[in-house]
């Protein structure tokens, strides 16, 4: 495993911890956004572990779907989790009409934990 992959997993773990802190402190929108970044970094780590070098958010999402979910190398539900988390992040970060509430953020944190655990398992961590 490369140093870059390790660093991305560390960033994913850190982002998930920050999300938990943000939710505890009463910032569910920010927490939901940070969960997405945890998933994004974890997905990037998995892709980079196989020399698939993409950084654009849509490219990471597409590559995870193509190389792993459609190929049967990870359960497609993880690809769906990443897609859904990105949509929630876009609402949290850009939508001034809609707010992410605590129950949604809590669900996203649980999904983030599951997603990160699956990626780490796939990487042998």
pLDDT digit string (tens) for 31-64?
999 999 999 999 999 999 999 999 999 999 999 9
What pLDDT shows up at residue 28? Answer: 97
CA dihedral of 47, 65, 39, 102, whole degrees rounded to 10: 180
| 24: Cβ contacts below 8 Å, ≥ 6 apart | none
Side-chain half-sphere CA neighbours of 4 within 13 A: 12
> pTM, whole model, 2 decimals?
0.95
Per CATH, domain 3-122 is 1.20.120.330? yes
- Burial (0-12, 13-18, 19+ Cβ within 10 Å), 46: buried
Please report the pLDDT score of residue 51 as a whole number: 96
The predicted pLDDT at position 19 comes to 98
Helix/strand/coil percentages in the chain, nearest 5: 75, 0, 25
């Amino acid at each position: 495993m490369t140093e870059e992959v390790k660093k991305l997993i560390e960033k994913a773990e850190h982002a998930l911890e920050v999300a938990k802190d943000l939710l505890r402190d009463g910032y569910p929108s920010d927490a939901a956004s940070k969960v997405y970044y945890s998933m994004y970094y974890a997905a990037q780590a998995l892709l980079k572990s196989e020399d698939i070098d993409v950084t654009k958010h849509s490219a990471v999402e597409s590559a995870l779907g193509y190389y792993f979910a459609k190929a049967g190398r990870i359960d497609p539900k993880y690809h769906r989790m990443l897609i859904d988390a990105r949509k929630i992040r876009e609402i949290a970060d850009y939508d001034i009409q809609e707010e992410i509430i605590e129950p949604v953020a809590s669900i996203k944190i649980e999904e983030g934990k599951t997603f990160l655990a699956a990626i780490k398992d796939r990487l042998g961590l």
